[in-house]
Amino acid sequence: MRRKVTLKQIAKELDVSISTVSKSLRNSLEISEDTRQKVQAFAKLYNYKPNNIALSLKNRRSKTICIIIPEIIHHFFATVISGVEKIANEKGYNVLVCLSDESFDKEVINIEMLANGTIDGFIMSLSKETQQKRDFHHISEVISQGMPVVMFDRVTNDILCDKVIIDDALAAFNATQFLINKGFSKIGLLSTVDYVSVGKLRTEGYINALKTNDIVVNENLILKIEDTDNFESQIVSLLENNKLDAIFAVNEIFAVTAIKVASKLGIKVPEDLSIIGFTDGIISKYSSPSITTVSQNGIKMGEKAAKMLIEKLEIEEEEYDEQYKTEVIETELVERESTL
Amino acid sequence: MRRKVTLKQIAKELDVSISTVSKSLRNSLEISEDTRQKVQAFAKLYNYKPNNIALSLKNRRSKTICIIIPEIIHHFFATVISGVEKIANEKGYNVLVCLSDESFDKEVINIEMLANGTIDGFIMSLSKETQQKRDFHHISEVISQGMPVVMFDRVTNDILCDKVIIDDALAAFNATQFLINKGFSKIGLLSTVDYVSVGKLRTEGYINALKTNDIVVNENLILKIEDTDNFESQIVSLLENNKLDAIFAVNEIFAVTAIKVASKLGIKVPEDLSIIGFTDGIISKYSSPSITTVSQNGIKMGEKAAKMLIEKLEIEEEEYDEQYKTEVIETELVERESTL
DNA sequence: CTGAAAGCGCTTACAG
DNA sequence: CTGAAAGCGCTTACAG
């Protein structure tokens, strides 16, 4: 077991100073061609690689960014990670992925643990619990210390920072309108509880679409699902008690579960019931029937978020003007088999 | 924008030495109760947090580990991450998640980038390309420098290190036997190309089960899928040209696609065709019909891998004996709707 | 009880 | 052209 070689060791072996070694390796013109060659050859032989921790300390930046997501089960978040990774790696940054598991405490711990030099900035989507508590002190704390933060998807107006979102209300409006255009009027909604920002916005879009088309909003057709574990029975009642034409679901888990429930009740999708989901994930793609859905383009969101963050990181201190932008990424409706 | 406060600044403010501040904060008994209190109060007020990078440099360990996975689309890998995160966080380690995207080069770059101080050890599953090339120099390099590596799932015998696997051949044998016990003999196999270690082993298990039961192995019923993009048509031919009783698929994407194809061809699952998949992911759970599958217990694999890695990291240098273990995690067959 | 010094591994302004 | 020194932020053995 051979330990990693350091500048010091090379200097000793070659009987020159550490400075000379360092400069040689960085191709400084100060150093004679001769020594430079000698040092570089030796370094190569011993496979020298600078210690990144030492560089981080010296430069006061680690070239690592962290993305915090609520859970990995939603494929959308996985695609955002891919987008972030892509841009970050292109620009020479590492990406640390952290999971908050929808927990406020885990979010706080992650941030506090990493904000002390380990990483240069955060990209994050709020956990459910954080959105419910509306406690964002851990985030404002970090921002006030000069660490850039970019929020995506589940964001809050209470924090000033760069954001990458989609127009959730508009996308939901369009999806609902799509169903209305097919001639449907008894349209059910499977949404989350209201404190989840995107759930709330998507619900608004749905309601707006109905109102715009003079369809009476029937609260009985709206399910706000709190617990992800046992909502199948709620959907069963919804379908049994109402003769629905269509369903709009705010994520793909809800959409695919609606399909399962329908098939058990002998309701055919799409013949008897059309279903639109949200997020173009693997479930929507591989489900039978495959699911018509609002594509969020997580890759693009991730790329954009990473770009914004790195831009902030590489800006000169003096020109840092605390201007925050909110980028809205386009969505599109991907038509598949679950709608007529 | 208030920069993070350092020991130096506290020392200056309080007119004591840096050593005194450091010791006070670490509750050293050397320091008088009085100064200790004073320093701690001040530190709290200014929300002092030690700089982790400086600590890493000093301690020559970063308390971060890295998990490299081939792709995040397979839910199995996501569950392994959860397991690793859980144990790592309990033990005060950060987790860096890297994606190799099944690419050899990305794997090499990730490892080289991080092996210089940023992280203390790796947990990894080999990329397809790496398994195909059989080039593991980047891994042996890192191991020879004294950095512990734990491989999981897609491993190789060419590298000596700790490993966490399942008995892929046995699990496949059992799944196939399960189908045979139902009275099926025309059983198709959807596998990967042979260089993917787990695909090969699962294929072996399938073949063994057939042989053990004196069923002739028919190569026409075996599909070795190379490209994940366009294999639907291959499955179509398989089903059209052969009257199958059942299918064993080595991952859930293949299994769910078989269901889709079957339903398009008017073949009913499970009435006309039973299907067993591999990996208990969200697709298997939410598919209609839901899929009977071999559960790999990714959480447990991740937990075990993290435990083994951290154990190696925290062992005293002298007692480090280069003993490598291979842990085999139990699998189980989860029966759902896709089999009779 | 307090502090100066050395060191983790590096870079760079400065002196010679 | 080469090297000693200072410094990034911390810890700790040692001196006083």
What's the pLDDT at B329?
96
Kindly report, residue by residue over B179-208, the tens digit of the pLDDT: 999 999 999 999 999 999 899 999 999 999
Distance, CA of A296 to CA of A174 (rounded, Å) = 13
What's the pLDDT at B223?
94
The residue among B14, B257, B94 whose CA lies nearest residue A64 is: B94
A19/D3 CA-to-C1' distance in Å: 7
Q: Omega of the bond prior to B70 within 30 degrees of 0, cis?
A: no
Mark yes or no for CB contact A52/B116 under 8 Å: yes
CB A53 within 8 A of CB B62: yes
CB A117 within 8 A of CB B53: yes
Burial class (CB in 10 A: 0-12, 13-18, 19+), A197: buried
Question: Residue with CA nearest C8 C1'?
Answer: B58
What's the pLDDT at A109?
86
Residues β-bridged to residue B192: B225
What's the pLDDT at A254?
93
Burial class (CB in 10 A: 0-12, 13-18, 19+), A276: buried
Ramachandran region, residue A307 (left: φ > 0; alpha: ψ -120 to 50; beta: rest): alpha
Strand, coil or helix: what is B10? Answer: helix
Burial class (CB in 10 A: 0-12, 13-18, 19+), A271: exposed
Q: Which of A101-110, A238-247, A282-291, B310-319 has the lowest mean pLDDT?
A: B310-319
Residue type at B26 in one-letter notation = R
Instruction: Report the mean per-residue pLDDT for chain A.
Output: 92
Residue type at A125 in one-letter notation = S
Distance, CA of B139 to CA of B148 (rounded, Å) = 10
The Cα-based distances of B68 to A81, A272, B106, B150, B154 in angstroms read 14, 45, 10, 10, 11
Kindly report, residue by residue over A11-60, the tens digit of the pLDDT: 999 999 999 999 999 988 889 888 999 999 999 998 899 999 999 999 99
Mean pLDDT of A134-158: 94
Per-10-residue mean pLDDT, chain B, length 340 = 82 92 91 90 91 92 93 87 92 88 90 88 96 95 91 96 96 97 96 92 97 96 86 93 96 93 93 94 90 95 97 73 89 95
Residue B18, CB, less than 7 Å from strand C?
yes
Q: What is the DSSP letter of B166?
A: E
Question: Residue with CA nearest C3 C1'?
Answer: B17
What's the pLDDT at B1?
53
What's the pLDDT at B116?
86
Mean pLDDT of A104-109: 91
Distance, CA of A256 to CA of B179 (rounded, Å) = 27
What's the pLDDT at B230?
80
Tell how strand A246-249 and strand A187-192 pair up: parallel
Residue A139 banded pLDDT, cuts 50, 70, 90:
very high
Task: Measure CA A117 to chain center.
Answer: 22
Distance, CA of B189 to CA of B205 (rounded, Å) = 11
Q: Is the pLDDT of residue A228 over 80?
A: no
Alpha helices in B247-334 (DSSP H): 252-264, 282-286, 298-314
Question: Residue with CA nearest D2 C1'?
Answer: A20
Query: Cα dihedral angle (B244, B250, B255, B256), rounded to 10 degrees?
Result: -170
Q: Is the pLDDT of residue A1 over 60?
A: no
Q: Is the pLDDT of residue A321 over 70?
A: no
Mark yes or no for CB contact B51/A116 under 8 Å: yes
Nearest residue, CB atoms, A4 vs list B118, B145, B259: B145
Mark yes or no for CB contact A117/B51 under 8 Å: yes
What's the pLDDT at A317?
58
Residue bearing tokens 């020559």: B60
B212 to chain A nearest CA, in Å?
Answer: 34
Distance, CA of A294 to CA of A175 (rounded, Å) = 7
